[in-house]
Amino acid sequence: AGSTATEGTDLIIRNLNNNRETFFKLVSEFYFNKNGTELLIETTKKNKDSNSNAVVLLYHLQSLQTDTIMVRFNDAKNYVFDETGNQLSFVAERDSSEKSLQKFYRLWYYSTGADSARIVADKNTIGMQLGYMVSENARLDFSKDGSKLFFGNSPIPTPKDTMLVDFETAKLDIWNYKDDYLQPQQLK
């Protein structure tokens, strides 16, 4: 049973001064930094190749070099560069299976010259409120001077009980003889 996730498409970067082209395969998302000197690229894994991995890359448009920021993840999102384009942050989930009911995102950080992104916060980080996790939906933002990174957290949702089938779950509608309408009419 292969994955049915949507594969990324080709991204072509063309230098209009010399018509030089650079190709990236399986691209699902890409973002430029504010100055247009760095290009963040997220790729998907190839569905028919079990050895392929999703990857986050940073393409330096002036030097034409590519750095690998992260390999092997299920989902990454909310990419943000600082003002200078030298720092990058995002949230990613890489430990659960694709069909897992509970997914825990971690806050990742990368700065120019580092080997790869590193975890800076997750649900077990000191200072994180017990029962909370890094929010996958909250907006990330660096302070103007780049010395602080702001992120959101959210309560850990309780996992849905998959042991009960819908038709086995009792549903109760209470009708009172003083009601103006019968219960089926009230529900309609």
Full DSSP string of 55-124: EEEEEETTTTEEEEEEES-SEEEEEEE-TTSSEEEEEEE-SS-TT-S---BEEEEEETT-SS-EEEE-TT
pLDDT digits (tens, 9 = 90+) for 32-66: 999 999 999 999 998 888 888 999 999 999 999 99
1: pLDDT confidence band, cut at 50, 70 and 90? Answer: very low
Radius of gyration (Cα) for the chain, nearest Å? Answer: 23
Write out the two tokens for 135.
Answer: 């929010």
Interval 88-115 mean pLDDT: 87
- Block residue for tokens 């970067």: 13
